[in-house]
Amino acid sequence: MLRRAALGARENRQPKLFGVRGFEVLSDRRFRIRLTQPFAPFLMTLASAFCYIIPREAVDYYGPNFTKHPVGTGPFMFEEFGADFLKLKRNPRYWQKDMHGNTLPYLDEITLYFSRSATEQLAALQRGEILEISRFSSDIRQQVLLHDTLAPDYQERFRLFSTPSLSVQFCGMNCALPPFNDVRVRQAFSLALNRTELSKLVITPDEIQASKYAATRGLVPPALAAYDTTRDQIFTKPLRGDKAKSSNLLKLEVFNPDKARALLASAGYPDGKGFPTLPLYYDSTNTRNRRLAEFIQTSLKQHLNITIHLAPLSWSEHLAKCESGRVAFFLLGWVADYPEPENFLNLLYGKFVPADTSAISYPNMPRYRNPNFDALFEQALLTLNDSLRYRLYAETEALALNDAPLLLLVYDRDEKLLSKDVQGYALNAMDRRDLKYVWLNRASSSAAMQ
C-alpha cells in the first residue's frame, strides 16, 4: 500500500521507509498522509495490523526487544508472554464506555494458550481451564460435532460459533514455466476438480453446506457480501469488448472432466500422454494440506491421467520456493488483511512480477501477467464510489478466472467452541476479536482461550 500510494514511497522501496514526503507529524495526536493519487482501499489498509502507529519512545527504550513489549491503545494491555501462553490485562486508561456508561472492558484479564494438542485443548475446555477453542482441528471436530451441530454430550455446557471467513485456498500454477505457460493446461486442471466433493472432505460432510464453501465463485470469498452481489450481476453479462471470452467465464470453475480432457488434448497431451510428472509442493505443518494435496493428486490422475508427486516442505522452505519461481505447482492460501476485494486481486497484479525471473515475486507467486487485468485493476483502485469500484473489480476478476492462474479449491470458515459462561462474544469474517464487551456468567472475571 505504501509503495503504491504514499507520496515519496516509490522512491524509497526499503523495508524501513525514511524521508517519505507524504508522511507528516502534525502534533502528538495528529498524523497526516498525502497520497500521489486516489487509492480507494486506503482507509481499509490503515485499519490493518501493518499500519499501526507506535510510539518512538517505546521502540527506542526496548530496542530489539520491542516485539516482546507491545504498546497500544486498546482495551487490554500486554502483561506476560510465556512459552505457551500470552496474558493480557485490563487497560485502566481505556477511553470507551458501553451504552449504559460502564467503563470497558468488562474482563480484568485474558490468557491465550497455544501449542497444545487437540486432546489437551478439549480436556482443558471440559475441565473449565479454558473457555474457548478457536479454529479447532479435524480431530476435535470429529469428537464434538455431529454433522455441523454439537453432539448431545456437549450441548449443555458449550456453544458452537461458525461463520464464513475471508480466506481461500488454492494451488498456484506458475504461468512462466511449462506446462502452465499454456492457458489450456491451467483451464483443464480447473475443470478436472470437483470442489464440492473436496469441500465435503475438508470443511463439512453436509452436501448443501459443502457447496457454499467450494471455491466456485471466484478468487474473492463470498463472505464479502456486497461485492459478491455485484459479482453475480457482472458475471452474467459479457465483458466490455470481450464477449466471446466472457460467455465461458463461469464454466471454467465448474466440474467438467470431458471438457478438461478436450482442453488437455488440444494442448498436445491426449489422455495425459507426454505430460510431465509434476511435484505438488505444500506446507506439511498443516495436516489439512495433506488431504487437499491427495484429493488433487487423485482427481488429476482419475480425470486427466496426470501423475502428481506430493512434495511436503516446512512452511519456511515452502514459501521460499513459491516466491522464487522455481516451482510450477504449489498449494497456498490467502487470508484477508482487510475486507476489500483488492486484497485478493493483488495476488494476480502483473506489475508485482519482476523482470528478473530469478527474483522473488510476491504476492503474485503464479507470475500471472495480463495487461487488461492490470489496467482494469488500476482503474478500480482510483474509483472511490464503492458500487462502481466493485463492478470494475468483478470485471478484473472475470479475466483472471478465464486465464486460470490459480486452481481455486475451497473457502474457509471460522469455527469456535465456547463455554456457555462466555457472554457478549461476536464473530466476524475477519476473525477480529473485539473482546471488550465479553463478560463471564460466573464469579471469575478472567478468561482463558485456546
More confident residue, 134 or 347: 347
For 415-443, the pLDDT digits (tens) are 899 999 999 998 888 888 899 999 998 75
Shared-domain flag, residues 351 and 438: no
More confident residue, 136 or 249: 136
Where does a domain end: 67, 85, 116? 67
Confidence of residue 309 (pLDDT cuts 50, 70, 90): very high
- In one-letter notation, the amino acid at residue 236 is T
pTM of the model: 0.88
Q: What is the CATH number for 218?
A: 3.10.105.10
Cell of 113: 494458550
31 is in which domain, residue-wise? 2-67
pLDDT higher than threshold 70 for residue 250: no
Confidence of residue 20 (pLDDT cuts 50, 70, 90): confident
| Pairwise CA distance, residues 258 & 255, whole Å | 9
More confident residue, 126 or 142: 126
Shared-domain flag, residues 189 and 300: yes
Closest CA to 319 of 346, 283, 364: 283
More confident residue, 196 or 8: 196
Shared-domain flag, residues 23 and 118: no
The pLDDT of residue 148 is 79
The pLDDT of residue 16 is 59
Where does a domain end: 35, 67, 99? 67
Shared-domain flag, residues 178 and 129: no
pLDDT higher than threshold 80 for residue 251: no
The lowest-confidence range among 171-175, 243-247, 364-368, 378-382 is 243-247
- In one-letter notation, the amino acid at residue 4 is R
Shared-domain flag, residues 404 and 360: yes
Confidence of residue 243 (pLDDT cuts 50, 70, 90): very low
Shared-domain flag, residues 15 and 87: no
Shared-domain flag, residues 320 and 191: yes
| Pairwise CA distance, residues 378 & 333, whole Å | 23
What mean pLDDT value characterizes the chain? 88
The pLDDT of residue 18 is 63
The pLDDT of residue 235 is 78
Where does a domain end: 48, 67, 86? 67
Shared-domain flag, residues 57 and 120: no
Contact at 8 Å (CB) between 132 and 415? no
Shared-domain flag, residues 170 and 288: yes
Shared-domain flag, residues 133 and 190: no
Closest CA to 365 of 185, 180, 196: 180
Shared-domain flag, residues 327 and 382: yes
Looking at the structure of the chain, the number of domains it has is: 3
Q: What is the CATH number for 132?
A: 3.40.190.10
Confidence of residue 249 (pLDDT cuts 50, 70, 90): very low
Enumerate the β-bridge partners of residue 80: 87
The pLDDT of residue 252 is 43
For 136-166, the pLDDT digits (tens) are 777 777 788 887 789 998 999 999 988 899 9
Find out whether the peptide bond into 179 is cis, omega within 30 degrees of 0: yes
The lowest-confidence range among 131-135, 191-195, 278-282, 377-381 is 131-135
Shared-domain flag, residues 182 and 309: yes
The lowest-confidence range among 40-44, 168-172, 239-243, 330-334 is 239-243
Confidence of residue 118 (pLDDT cuts 50, 70, 90): confident
| Pairwise CA distance, residues 245 & 209, whole Å | 31
